[in-house]
Amino acid sequence: MDFKQEIERRRTFAVIAHPDAGKTTLTEKLLLFGGAIHVAGAVKSNKIRKTATSDFMEIEKQRGISVATSVMGFEYRDTKINILDTPGHQDFAEDTYRTLTAVDSVIVVIDAAKGVEPQTLKLMDVCRMRQTPVIVFVNKLDREGQDPFDLMDELEQQLRVQVCPMTWPVSSGATFKGVYNLYEKNLNLFVSDEKQTIAESVNISDLHNKELDEHIGKFADKLREDIELVSGIYPVPDIPAYRAGKLAPVFFGSALNNFGVRELLDCFVDIAPTPKTFETEERTIHPQELKLSGFIFKIHANMDPNHRDRIAFLRVCSGEFRRNTNYLHVRLGKSLKFANPTAFMADKKSVLDEAYPGDIVGIYDTGNFKIGDTLTEGETIHFKGIPSFSPELFRYVENADPIRYKQLAKGLEQLTDEGVAQLFVNQANGRKIIGTVGALQFDVIQYRLEHEYGASCTYQPMHLYKACWIEGDDKAEMDDFKRRKWQFMALDKEGRDVFLAESQYALSNSQEKFPNIRFHFTSEF
């Protein structure tokens, strides 16, 4: 297979949702239908000791939530599919925002009973900003939920995108019978109650066939009416509009019971975009270019706690990534080669010899990489849009075991390199400060320090409004600002000046009094 064909057969996407919408369960079932796994993990069940394939960190298994993006690749219908399962909880949103920079499209999971929830809206804002193509999967049809027409209205209004149903449910809750596939023009009735394996389906292509009445009885006429109404209200599928981010195809189903998942996967393979172009500060990068370029969008320490390994996740944007080949690390200005680059199935890794645009490569890292770093075959380019966000919650971090000082320092260094939180040093007293966008991150850091680094820490509360990066062209004015605000000045890990505003008033007042100083709320400036 030649280089262009390899690019054309790749689909790289993220699964995003509000917590508990069933995002990780859907990811499991996509893997199941793709043949990548044979038994799905029960994400919430305490009786079954299996956990979701994509939730591989110990704290994820204990809490039953995703706290870090995981990467899974598999082959389906001669297509290489790369899934990035993201955290749904808002406290881990920063990991999700960065992951959205590395994908070509997105599947949004919506709970049929709850509809569009706050975290989904925030994530959709990011997709809309980047014009990322979106497919919606309305989940949990096996439970009582909203009327599908009401849900479609809500999706259109709340997500601010035109919607186009690709499947339609036959009832819901206890009487849920399956889905009619408007894309393939057939009806799929699921007859199995088995939740751990792929259920069989019955196909009826003609809605006026009397066999339909035999299978779904009293629901047949309602389905015929619904489909007639759907054809009159909603637009026909328009693939260019979907790929431009202007139209969202909608699928109905139940991930837990395998309803509607195969239809979603088959349609996704047919219509989802191939690897896209990327903007750098210098120029546009096209996937068909022969020379390698890619960027690090995530770093994860201790994926295998026995080996204390640290993996940097590289999105290949152009060219072919090859094992044992020298590449330029643009920020460091030095050449590196990688003996054991890896492909992923969550925490299971296998060595790969080559990767193509759209692929996610795991690189063993000894501390060379930071989020946003670029690898090329010699060209100096800098990818855009991979920022750290201004934290909103702050704690002083104290060493609870002085003997383990080195372990704590190393743990904080590596965990904050991952982007789960940010580390600042207060210039007034030299104390270390952790800043996060969500309170749960503090628990995750404390847990991982103890279990992965053998270090323990305690927190002391800090009452701050925001941390913002500052810069100015007038050195005298900058020096004056730092002298006046010396108690609230800190340095980040890169040695950049950070102003710790104690209140919204303090921030507004500083911006007013020092008009020539620029206050930034993301690290990308």
Other beta carbons within 10 Å of 33? 19
What's the rounded Cα separation, in Å, for the pair 110 and 438? 22
Q: Considering its fold, how many domains does the chain have in total? A: 3
What does the pLDDT read at residue 258? 79
What does the pLDDT read at residue 304? 55
- Per-residue DSSP letters for 362-383? EEE-SS---TT-EEESS----B
Specify the DSSP class assigned to residue 226.
H
As a residue count, the chain comes to 525
CB 364 within 8 A of CB 384: no
Does 77 lie in the same domain as 184? yes
What does the pLDDT read at residue 175? 81
Does 479 fall in a domain? yes
For residue 362, what are the contacts with CB-CB under 8 A and spacing of at least 6?
71, 311, 312, 313, 314, 341, 342, 343, 344, 349
3-class DSSP state of 317: strand
Burial label, 157 (beta-carbon count in 10 A; 0-12, 13-18, 19+): exposed
Does 497 lie in the same domain as 421? yes
* End position of a domain, from candidates 271, 301, 334: 271
Does 371 fall in a domain? yes
Does 382 fall in a domain? no
CATH number at 402 reads 3.30.70.3280
Does 168 lie in the same domain as 72? yes
For the entire predicted model, the pTM comes to 0.77
Measure CA of the first residue to CA of the last residue in the chain; give whole Å.
41
For residue 297, what are the contacts with CB-CB under 8 A and spacing of at least 6?
98, 99, 101, 102, 313, 315, 371, 372, 386
Does 381 fall in a domain? no
Integer CA distances (angstroms), 134 to 106, 173, 246, 330, in order = 5, 26, 9, 32
Does 212 fall in a domain? yes
Token pair listed for 367: 């501390």
Does 74 lie in the same domain as 136? yes
- Per-residue DSSP letters for 120-160? HHHHHHHHHHHT--EEEEEE-TTS----HHHHHHHHHHHHT
Burial label, 60 (beta-carbon count in 10 A; 0-12, 13-18, 19+): buried
What's the rounded Cα separation, in Å, for the pair 125 and 211? 44
Series of mean pLDDT values for 10-residue runs along the chain (525 residues): 92 87 85 64 34 47 46 87 70 68 93 88 82 94 90 94 92 82 77 54 73 81 88 91 95 86 90 94 95 90 59 92 95 92 68 91 86 93 77 90 90 81 91 86 86 89 90 92 94 91 93 92 69
Does 448 lie in the same domain as 334? no
CATH number at 80 reads 3.40.50.300
Does 239 lie in the same domain as 91? yes
Does 100 lie in the same domain as 233? yes
Does 179 lie in the same domain as 116? yes
* Block residue for tokens 């499991």: 28
Domain residues for the domain of 372 are 278-376
Does 431 lie in the same domain as 408? yes
Does 219 lie in the same domain as 328? no
Does 440 lie in the same domain as 366? no
Does 383 fall in a domain? no
* End position of a domain, from candidates 324, 342, 376: 376
* End position of a domain, from candidates 271, 297, 313: 271
**402 has which bridge partners?**
none
What does the pLDDT read at residue 296? 92
Does 454 fall in a domain? yes
CB 360 within 8 A of CB 314: yes
Does 106 fall in a domain? yes
Does 427 lie in the same domain as 325? no
From the list 7, 1, 80, 2, the residue with the least C-alpha distance to 275 is: 7
